[in-house]
Amino acid sequence: MAENQYVIFKLGNEEYGVDIMKVKEISEFKESIKVPNAPYFVDGIINLRGEIIPIINLKKRFNIESQGINSDTRIIVINIRNKNVGFVVDEASQVLRIDEKDIESAPDIIVGVDRQYITGVGKIDDKIVILLDLEKILSDEEKEKLEEMQ
């Protein structure tokens, strides 16, 4: 059986995973600069080593209550349409290998996260991790708005 590696991150008390091959980097949190008329879930933009990237607040996007920023808060950077985009998460603590046989398709009802973003549910020992495709979190229209911000 094939194994895939996932970056595991937290939003509140829940754990999520994203395919490590889609992650460009994980950065410490830095305050973003607000952008007028940005979508509600866009916190703003940051300068990451000379590149201006938009920052998306996954908690706002998923309607998860925010507990604020702390020393564990991270920004996961992925590439969408050849542009880097940062996603704020509460913690990005580990990389796990998950065997394909331990990944099930998303159940019909998952609270808080629209199923189109979910690639599956990984079973790891006695816990589950919701596996996300961060590229699908944004609609085409939202992706265009982000491109205009860069």
Range of the domain at 11: 3-149
More confident residue, 77 or 106: 77
What's the CA angle centered on 128, arms 122 and 130, to 5 degrees? 60
Q: Please give the DSSP secondary-structure letter assigned to residue 147.
A: H
In this structure, are residues 32 and 44 in contact, taking their beta carbons and an 8 Å threshold?
yes
The model's pLDDT over 25-42, given as tens digits with 9 standing for 90+, comes to 999 999 999 999 888 999
**What are the distances in angstroms from CA 66 to CA 99, 113, 124?**
32, 15, 26
What mean pLDDT do residues 113-129 have? 84
In this structure, are residues 105 and 24 in contact, taking their beta carbons and an 8 Å threshold?
no
Please, what is the average pLDDT of the chain? Answer: 89
Please report the pLDDT score of residue 146 as a whole number.
77
Query: Helix or strand or coil: residue 46?
Result: strand
What mean pLDDT do residues 91-107 have? 90
Q: Domain with 72 in it: what CATH number?
A: 2.40.50.180
Spatial neighbors of 134 by CB under 8 A, at least 6 apart, are 18, 22, 76, 78, 80, 85, 87, 117
d(CA 17, CA 122): 9
Domain count along the chain:
1
pTM above 0.85, yes or no: yes
In the chain, % of residues over pLDDT 90:
57
pLDDT score of 16 more than 70: yes
Spatial neighbors of 130 by CB under 8 A, at least 6 apart, are 14, 15, 16, 17, 106, 110, 113, 118, 121, 122
Please report the pLDDT score of residue 114 as a whole number.
62
d(CA 79, CA 70): 25
β-strand pairing of 127-132 with 14-19: parallel
